[in-house]
Amino acid sequence: MTEETLAELGVALGDLHRVLRRTASQRTGRRVLPDAQVEVLRLVQRQPGISVREAAERLGTAANTVSTLVGGLTTAGLLSRERDPGDRRTVRLGLTDAARERMAAYSQHRSDLLAAALAQLDPDDRKRLLAAAPALSRLADQVADQR
């Protein structure tokens, strides 16, 4: 594994992420959210009821940064905040119906884009890419754990 190969992998993954994100967002007819806001939404989707402090820890950022992101997403109607009944100082986060709808539309467009692009590839390349998906997911988890 050479530095050049690692750099090539990083560039390819970054390029794929950006083109999927922009194109899928354009197809939904909505403005592209900043990556940081998308990260918060995806985290809340995976862990409904997460607190701002817990989200900051999971994202590896300061609580006041997450609080600012949450404020923007709440104003945009994409996140709800509810006080924790067991600790009134803690706010629990949830997705709104608008956020769920937005994320589902984005996911569908992203899947459609990937399916169309994969269909254009050589069958062997398509097979290798699809087989690599679980390993890429584990790689993402490993990188996240190293923060």
pLDDT digits (tens, 9 = 90+) for 94-127: 999 999 999 999 899 999 999 999 999 999 999 9
**3-state DSSP of 38-67:** HHHHHHHHHCCCCEHHHHHHHHCCCHHHHH
Give the pLDDT confidence of 77-97 residue by residue, as tens digits. Answer: 999 999 988 888 888 999 999
Q: Where are the beta strands (DSSP E) in the chain?
A: 79-84, 87-95
Confidence at 64, pLDDT banded by 50, 70, 90: very high
First to last CA, the chain: 22
Is pLDDT above 80 for 33?
yes
Its pTM stands at 0.79
Query: Hey, what domains does the chain have and what are their CATH numbers?
Result: 1-31+97-147 (no CATH), 33-95 (1.10.10.10)
C-alpha 145/C-alpha 8 separation (Å) is 22
When the pLDDT of each residue in the chain is averaged and rounded to a whole number, the result is 92
